[in-house]
Structure 1
Amino acid sequence: MSDGRALNILVAGGSSPSGIAVARALRGAGHAVFTVGSDAARIEAAAAKAGSGVVPLACDLADPAAVRDLHAALTERAGRIDGVIHLVGGWRGAKGITDQSDEDWDFLERNAVTTLRNASRTFYDDLAASDAGRLAIVSSTAVASPTAAGASYAAAKAAAEAWTLAVADGFRRAQAGHKEEPVEQHSAAVVFVVKALVDAAMRAASPERKFPGFTDVEELAAAAVGLFRTPAAELNGRRLPLSR
């Protein structure tokens, strides 16, 4: 828990509406926010929407070497990173099992799993050393109730959840669960679970829709801020539902 201290937080997938909302909220809470996207022009425009002080960075998070370069640049610029909010994702679906395409799987695995693996491995030591280290991803209710049409999507999200919970186990073993020298848990990895996300632009484009069960990106943003105000012991390894 930060106890009001300003933290260095990386928002991966910062070009999306959820990335903009999360970056804006974290910056509003007084943190130093670095928002990352693969397209330089898009991430710069998104950071401008998120507000003054949000720093845009272009990086292909699916490229391990590029992520290592990103880590080195951030270390030189800001020091240790205290939080990674992973919002990289996307949706691909089909009619059933037999038409789940390899192209869709490659897209989902790259965005949901590979980018997470690269970011969490590279920044793991930072998060483990921080007194308020946090890793968070956004997963889906589809993991618990997958459909044939969404098989690839649910499988990729399930893999991302498993990886994140494994990171949580690493934090626990190194801190509160350490056999020889246990310390108070101060790092946490969590999974936010939503049915789907909705933002103001989507509501404006379809005013007749009610978006039942959807989570507004502003609610996700508030939950992200709350991670750094909640003790790690209450968070680590948890799946936190945000669906209504």
Structure 2
Amino acid sequence: MRILIAGATSALGHATASALLRAGHHVIAVGSNDDRLGLVDASEHFECDLTDPGAVRELAEKVGELDGLLHLVGGWRGGGGLAGQSDEDWAWLEARVVHTLRNTTRAFADAIGRSDAGVIAIISSTGVERPTAGNANYVALKAAAEAWLAAVGQQLRSTPARTVVKRVKALVSDADRAAQPDRDFSGSTDVTALATELAAEFA
């Protein structure tokens, strides 16, 4: 299957690309930094500013038919209660969490809908269930991303394709553990484990 990873240069992106390749899929890695993108183990690499609708439409023309879109673009900013939820942080998060999702799903949903087993998946937050003042920007935008994906799912309802939401509290990699050996990561989801879950959606 042909599967595109948006935000492939993250730790989760690396792990997911590797898991999909091991499963025999054609992996298309997309990111905004060509140097970091080249380090991702994938079948194809495309540098693209996913916040630019025109650039994403051009990418869709290059990619062609597709069976899966894994939207792993993200990041986190927050803290400081409601007073700490700055407009700058909101704009930074919105561009990554929601805007890139809107651009990629509008560009690729039709192709994925033509697949016999199409999947569009996002990573959301358990914080959506329990919002806090210090996390308000982040969880509000994650909730918006889930709502957008639900709308995408409604459009795909007459096709074999489906949408998937994976909620996590936080992510952790081996590099994170090595960098902070005294930190408690017990509430975090290992990127390798999540990558295995994502790859299983295409089994």
Instruction: Give the TM-score band, short-chain normalised.
Output: over 0.9
The equivalent residue for 2:9 is: 15
From 131, 145, 152, give the equivalent of 1:167. Answer: 152
From 170, 182, 187, give the equivalent of 1:213. Answer: 187
From 82, 107, 113, give the equivalent of 1:122. Answer: 107
The equivalent residue for 2:176 is: 202
From 14, 34, 43, give the equivalent of 2:37. Answer: 43
Deviation at 1:168, TM superposition (A): 1.4
Identity rate, percent:
50
Deviation at 1:98, TM superposition (A): 2.2
Cα deviations across residues 59-89 of structure 1 (Å, max 9, x unaligned)?
A: 01110000011011112xxxx1110000000
2: CA distance, partners of 1:219 / 1:86 = 17
Q: Superposition RMSD on alpha carbons, in Å?
A: 1.0
Deviation at 1:189, TM superposition (A): 0.5
The equivalent residue for 1:66 is: 55
- TM-score (norm: length of structure 1): 0.81
Deviation at 1:94, TM superposition (A): 2.6
* Uncovered stretches (5+) of structure 1, i.e. residues with no partner: 1-6, 176-185, 230-244
Question: Which piece of structure 1 moves more, 208-217 or 64-73?
Answer: 208-217
Residue identity in the other structure for 2:192:
E
Deviation at 1:159, TM superposition (A): 0.5
Cα deviations across residues 143-170 of structure 1 (Å, max 9, x unaligned)?
A: 1101101100011101001111111122
2: CA distance, partners of 1:99 / 1:33 = 39
From 152, 166, 173, give the equivalent of 1:192. Answer: 166
Asked if structure 2 preserves the Cα contact closer than 8 Å seen for 1:165 and 1:190, the reply is no
Deviation at 1:208, TM superposition (A): 2.4
Asked if structure 1 preserves the Cα contact closer than 8 Å seen for 2:32 and 2:47, the reply is yes
1:112 aligns with 2:112: no
Change (3 A) 1:98 1:208: closer
Residue identity in the other structure for 1:30:
G
